[in-house]
């Protein structure tokens, strides 16, 4: 098993395809959690039992129907260097739980990296689909098709009253987590973000940082996802998320127009200062880089910067992460050396 093709390139193929509302919605993700009946859940399973689950899942993944989603490349956590695991987490191809806590964990990842099937994570099976922009329905339909193929071969742990049974009670029911990654700099700058996010929490959704639960919303990136999995159907969860995201998009667009109308000179100054710092800095830490890249991305999206493709910012959001820097410039980099190489990489990329 190998993961080199996934850790050498910063930009996943699916990210370059574009999507609806892509100037605000960076990506859409749908994840389905499932467990097999008559098998201990991963946290209680022995090494032998987790090996049996992995062997069973490999057989299922050989199903001819799955070829419609492209070749699925197996990646064993036991055979993977810690640095490669970190990069896969940074690219959202695997979860931190699979990377750090799983027993006989593995991921089966499509060549374009839009589909990832995680085995022996917190649950026996987690099916994840990634799409660019706002494509919640499309991501759900793809995940559901993969789920249907698995269900032909294995029996899921299911209760007539509670739905699908999962290791974490918050996933019981549909086992569905749908989320969108949103870039909301104007709502932050106009100090509307807390009001918006408070309203979101009142309608069964939750807001997290770029790497999910417990992470910070660095670079004005916010992950909006469903909080309720029990008592709602999959269609209701998807519809609710989609409707709320459309409202947030509208608020962000209005905030951007307000900034341009009332504070165009200040906005231009902010964007160009960040552009200048990124283009010439000798050292820059990850937090400042994320904020400056957010400013520049806003400048690109509202037309203040015309010479820089948004895709360059997407690449830099991955390339400036600690794992990727260590992969490119040396595994034993000190924090100061990472800041130096991060600045060097940004200068070169923006210069090109």
Q: Which amino acids are annotated as binding site for ATP, given as ranges? A: 27-31, 92, 126, 177-181, 208-213
**CA 320, CA 289: separation in Å to the nearest integer?**
8
Environment class of residue 20 by beta-carbon count within 10 Å: exposed (0-12), middle (13-18) or buried (19+)?
A: middle
**How far is CA 180 from its chain centroid?**
8
Q: Which two tokens stand for residue 38?
A: 């008559």
- The binding site comprises 27-31, 92, 126, 177-181, 208-213
């Amino acid at each position: 098993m190998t993961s080199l093709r996934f850790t050498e390139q910063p930009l996943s193929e699916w990210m370059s395809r574009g999507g609806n509302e892509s100037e605000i919605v960076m990506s859409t993700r749908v994840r389905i959690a499932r467990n097999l009946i008559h098998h201990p859940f991963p946290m209680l399973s022995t090494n032998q039992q987790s090996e049996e689950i992995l062997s069973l899942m490999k057989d299922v993944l050989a199903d001819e129907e799955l070829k419609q989603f492209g070749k699925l490349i197996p990646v064993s956590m036991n055979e993977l260097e810690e640095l490669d695991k970190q990069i896969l987490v940074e690219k959202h191809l695997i979860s931190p739980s699979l990377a750090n806590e799983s027993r006989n964990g593995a991921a089966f990842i499509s060549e374009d990296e839009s589909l990832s099937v995680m085995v022996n994570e917190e649950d026996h099976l987690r099916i994840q689909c990634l799409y660019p922009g706002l494509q919640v329905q499309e991501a759900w339909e793809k995940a559901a098709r993969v789920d249907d193929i698995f269900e032909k071969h294995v029996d899921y742990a299911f209760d007539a009253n509670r739905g699908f049974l999962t290791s974490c009670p918050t996933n019981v029911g549909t086992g569905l987590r749908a989320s969108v990654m949103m870039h909301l700099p104007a709502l932050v700058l106009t100090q509307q973000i807390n009001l918006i996010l408070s309203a979101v929490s009142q309608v069964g959704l939750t807001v997290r940082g770029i790497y999910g639960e417990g992470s910070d919303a660095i670079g004005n990136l916010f992950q909006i996802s469903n909080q309720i999995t029990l008592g709602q159907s999959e269609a209701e969860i998807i519809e609710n998320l989609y409707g709320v995201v459309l409202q947030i998009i509208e608020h962000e667009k209005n905030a951007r127009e307000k900034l341009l109308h009332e504070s165009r000179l200040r906005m231009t100054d902010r964007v160009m200062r960040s552009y200048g710092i990124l283009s010439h800095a000798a050292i820059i830490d990850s937090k400042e880089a994320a904020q400056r890249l957010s400013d520049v991305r806003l400048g690109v999206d509202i037309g203040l910067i015309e010479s820089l493709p948004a895709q360059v910012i997407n690449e830099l959001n991955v390339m400036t992460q600690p794992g990727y820097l260590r992969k490119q410039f040396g595994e034993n980099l000190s924090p100061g050396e990472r800041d130096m190489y991060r600045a060097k990489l940004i200068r070169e990329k923006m210069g090109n």
